[in-house]
Amino acid sequence: MRFVAGLKCHVCGASYPPEALWVCSECLGPLEVTYDYAAIRSAISREAIESRPHSLWRYRELLPVDEPRTGFHSGFTPLVRATRLARELGVAEVYIKDDSVNHPTFSYKDRVVSVAASRAVDLGFQVFGCASTGNLAGSVAAHAARLGLPCYVFIPHDLEPSKVLGAAIYRPHVVAVEGNYDDVNRLCTQIADRYGWGFANINLRAYYAEGAKTMAFEIAEQLGWRFPDHVVSPVAGGTLLPRIVKGFREFQDLGLVDGALPKVHAAQPAGSAPVVRALEAGLEYPEPVKPNTIAKSLAIGNPADGFQVVARVRETGGQGAMVSDEEILDAVQLLAQTEGIFTEPAGGTTLAGARALVERGVIKPHESMVVCITGNGYKTAEVMYDRVTQPTQIGRGFAEFERVIGSQLGVPAGAQA
Ligand X SMILES: Cc1ncc(COP(=O)(O)O)c(C=O)c1O
What does the alpha-carbon distance between residue 44 and residue 52 come to, in Å, rounded to a whole number? Answer: 12
Instruction: Tell which positions 4-63 bind Zn ion, by CB under 5 A.
Output: 9, 11-12, 14, 24, 26-27, 29
CA dihedral (41, 43, 48, 50) in degrees, to 10, reads -40
Nearest-approach distance from CB 369 to ligand X, in angstroms:
18
Q: Which of 108, 152, 154, 342 lies at the binding interface for ligand X (CB under 6 A)?
A: 108
Residue closer to ligand X (CB basis): 219 or 298: 298
- By a kind-dependent CB cut-off of 5 to 8 A, residue 29 interacts, out of Zn ion, ligand X, none, with Zn ion
50: helix, strand or coil: helix
Q: Considering the rule CB under 5 A, would residue 145 count as an interface residue with Zn ion?
A: no
* Span between the terminal Cα atoms of the chain, in Å: 64
What does the alpha-carbon distance between residue 91 and residue 96 come to, in Å, rounded to a whole number? Answer: 13
Nearest-approach distance from CB 167 to ligand X, in angstroms:
12
Q: Which of 235, 244, 357, 363 lies at the binding interface for ligand X (CB under 6 A)?
A: 235
CA distances from 278 to 84, 254, 267, 287 (A): 34, 32, 13, 7
Q: Considering the rule CB under 6 A, would residue 308 count as an interface residue with ligand X?
A: no
What does the alpha-carbon distance between residue 373 and residue 78 come to, in Å, rounded to a whole number? Answer: 11
165: helix, strand or coil: helix
Nearest-approach distance from CB 108 to ligand X, in angstroms:
6
Nearest-approach distance from CB 238 to ligand X, in angstroms:
5
- By a kind-dependent CB cut-off of 5 to 8 A, residue 26 interacts, out of Zn ion, ligand X, none, with Zn ion
Residues 113-142, one symbol each (x = binds ligand X by CB under 6 A, - = not), give: --------------------x-x-------
Handedness of CA 221, 227, 233, 239 (dihedral sign): positive
Q: Which residue, among 317, 316, 312, has the nearest Cα to 275 in the 3D structure?
A: 312
- By a kind-dependent CB cut-off of 5 to 8 A, residue 240 interacts, out of Zn ion, ligand X, none, with ligand X
Instruction: Tell which positions 238-297 bind ligand X, by CB under 6 A.
Output: 238-240, 297
Nearest-approach distance from CB 32 to ligand X, in angstroms:
15
Residue closer to Zn ion (CB basis): 12 or 169: 12
Report the 10 Å Cβ neighbour count for 92.
14
State the number of CA atoms in the 13 A half-sphere of 32 facing the CB. 17
Residue closer to ligand X (CB basis): 56 or 346: 346
What does the alpha-carbon distance between residue 57 and residue 74 come to, in Å, rounded to a whole number? Answer: 8
What does the alpha-carbon distance between residue 78 and residue 394 come to, in Å, rounded to a whole number? Answer: 38
Nearest-approach distance from CB 189 to ligand X, in angstroms:
16
Residue closer to ligand X (CB basis): 135 or 203: 135
Q: Considering the rule CB under 6 A, would residue 374 count as an interface residue with ligand X?
A: yes
Q: Total residues at the site for ligand X (CB under 6 A)?
A: 16
Residues 72-101, one symbol each (x = binds Zn ion by CB under 5 A, - = not), give: ------------------------------
316: helix, strand or coil: helix
Please check whether residue 117 is in contact with residue 70, taking contact to mean a CB–CB distance below 8 angstroms: yes
Please check whether residue 248 is in contact with residue 216, taking contact to mean a CB–CB distance below 8 angstroms: yes
Q: Which of 375, 377, 380, 383 lies at the binding interface for ligand X (CB under 6 A)?
A: 375
Binding site for ligand X (CB under 6 A): 107-108, 133, 135, 234-240, 297-298, 346, 374-375
Residues that bind Zn ion (CB under 5 A): 9, 11-12, 14, 24, 26-27, 29
